[in-house]
């Protein structure tokens, strides 16, 4: 369980978090989304007791991170973004070390379990320094899981993994998320869409939106986007289409095509098609694109993105 109330963090004059508030229940996987520097890592570091907030309160696994930091740290598993590991150590020795720091009664057994969970049993006797990025990530995850924490906090867990490993990792996370609380940060939106029960998008230290991935898509984007390509005077046509009730955000693309959105349930396509044929235009193409979480993300964090790349629609 995680409950964050009005969490604020200043780094000198720069405010990294602006009174953040959110909640994560047991058995819930929360995705933390945001551009670089949005405050994801800062929030996670506060929740794991690595640094204190400037103001506000955070309760993790029933304990206050400020006042009962040690109790919180006993119950939290954390995978930092950089996956810091001791390169000169043997994998199983390192995990045993972490298990001992956490006073696990049966360190050897827990090490074997954790290694098994992340599928690294056969590399148990190898040096950490010789592992690939993806394998390090898995050892980092094993380290976070070794004490079977109530709350698991993962900072960009899938970065640097190959597609096969990503699928595996998601499986592990979903497994864990069944009875524990998982908070993971990512900027891969499809990942959040696939594994998270709820997504929190933050930007510049503020929560922009918080919802389930499905609702986000339905609520924010609203609807469908239509790309239209005709032969003829696009400007004139554009003016006509604008008249149609339900058409939103009409714009013409540099490649000559027109683009607009409509709300679900108000399908304007037949009417638009009628205008085109009646007006004597030749229709080359009409297709609908459904907005992805990616678009929502860009929309919501607009100011942050310096030059949003125009997606080629054709």
Partner 1 sequence: MKNIWTIAKREYDNYFASPLAYVIAAGLLFLLGGIFLIILQGSIQQAIFGGGTPVDIGFINQWFYYLLLWTVPALTMRLISDENRTGTLELLLTAPVRDFELVIGKWLGSFLYILSVIGVSFIFAIVANYLAEPGIDQVKMMSSYLGLILIAGALLALGTGISALFNNQIAAFFVTLALFIVLWLLIGIPASFFPSNPAIGDVFRYLQIGNHYESTFNAGVLYLSDVIYFLSLIAIGLFTGVTAVDSRRWR
* Contact set with partner 1 (CB under 8 A): 45, 48-52, 70-71, 73-74, 76, 78, 80, 82, 84-89, 93, 97-98, 100-103, 143
How many CB atoms neighbour CB 5 within 10 A? 13
145 vs 226 by CB, closer to partner 1:
145
Helix/strand/coil percent split, the chain, to 5:
40, 30, 35
101 vs 305 by CB, closer to partner 1:
101
In the complex, what is the shortest distance from the CB of residue 272 to partner 1, in angstroms, rounded to a whole number?
55
**Structure tokens, 22:** 């959110």
92 vs 257 by CB, closer to partner 1:
92
In the complex, what is the shortest distance from the CB of residue 215 to partner 1, in angstroms, rounded to a whole number?
32
103 vs 245 by CB, closer to partner 1:
103
**Structure tokens, 129:** 């320094």
In the complex, what is the shortest distance from the CB of residue 101 to partner 1, in angstroms, rounded to a whole number?
5
27 vs 84 by CB, closer to partner 1:
84
Secondary structure E strands in 61-197: 63-64, 76-79, 151-155, 181-186
70 vs 235 by CB, closer to partner 1:
70
Nearest 5°: the CA angle 252, 254, 258 is 25
Sheet (strand 55-60) strand order: 14-24, 2-11, 55-60, 63-64
| CA–CA separation, 52 and 255 (whole Å) | 51
In the complex, what is the shortest distance from the CB of residue 312 to partner 1, in angstroms, rounded to a whole number?
39
How many CB atoms neighbour CB 309 within 10 A? 7
Q: Is the dihedral of CA 141, 143, 149, 155 positive or negative?
A: negative
In the complex, what is the shortest distance from the CB of residue 285 to partner 1, in angstroms, rounded to a whole number?
51
Secondary structure E strands in the chain: 2-11, 14-24, 29-33, 55-60, 63-64, 76-79, 151-155, 181-186, 198-203, 206-211, 224-231, 247-252, 258-262, 282-290
In the complex, what is the shortest distance from the CB of residue 14 to partner 1, in angstroms, rounded to a whole number?
13
In the complex, what is the shortest distance from the CB of residue 98 to partner 1, in angstroms, rounded to a whole number?
7
126 vs 246 by CB, closer to partner 1:
126
């Amino acid at each position: 369980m995680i409950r964050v109330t009005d969490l604020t963090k200043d780094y000198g004059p720069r405010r990294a978090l602006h009174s953040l508030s959110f909640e994560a229940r047991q058995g819930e996987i929360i995705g933390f989304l945001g551009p670089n520097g949005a405050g994801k890592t800062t929030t996670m570091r506060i929740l794991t007791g690595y640094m204190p907030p400037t103001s506000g309160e955070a309760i993790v696994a029933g304990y206050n991170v400020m006042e009962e930091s040690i109790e919180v740290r006993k119950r939290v598993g954390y995978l930092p973004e950089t996956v810091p590991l001791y390169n000169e150590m043997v994998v199983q020795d390192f995990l045993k070390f972490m298990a001992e720091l956490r006073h696990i009664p049966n360190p050897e057994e827990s090490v074997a379990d954790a290694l098994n969970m992340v599928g690294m049993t056969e590399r148990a006797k190898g040096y950490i320094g010789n592992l690939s990025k993806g394998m390090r990530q898995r050892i980092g995850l094993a380290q976070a899981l070794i004490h079977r924490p109530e709350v698991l906090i993962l900072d960009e867990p899938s970065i640097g993994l190959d597609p096969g490993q990503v699928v595996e990792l998601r499986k592990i996370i979903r497994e864990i998320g069944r009875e524990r609380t998982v908070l993971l940060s990512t900027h891969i939106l499809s990942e959040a869409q696939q594994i998270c029960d709820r997504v929190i998008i933050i930007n510049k230290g503020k929560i922009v939106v918080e919802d389930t991935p499905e609702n986000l898509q339905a609520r924010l984007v609203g609807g469908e986007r239509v790309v239209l390509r005709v032969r003829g005077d696009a400007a004139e046509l554009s003016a006509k289409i604008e008249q149609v009730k339900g058409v939103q955000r009409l714009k013409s693309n540099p490649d000559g095509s027109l683009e607009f959105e409509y709300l679900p349930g108000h399908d304007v396509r037949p009417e638009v098609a009628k205008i085109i044929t009646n007006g004597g235009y030749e229709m080359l193409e009409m297709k609908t694109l459904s907005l992805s979480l990616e678009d929502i993300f860009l929309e919501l964090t607009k100011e942050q993105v310096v030059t949003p790349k125009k997606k080629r629609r054709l």
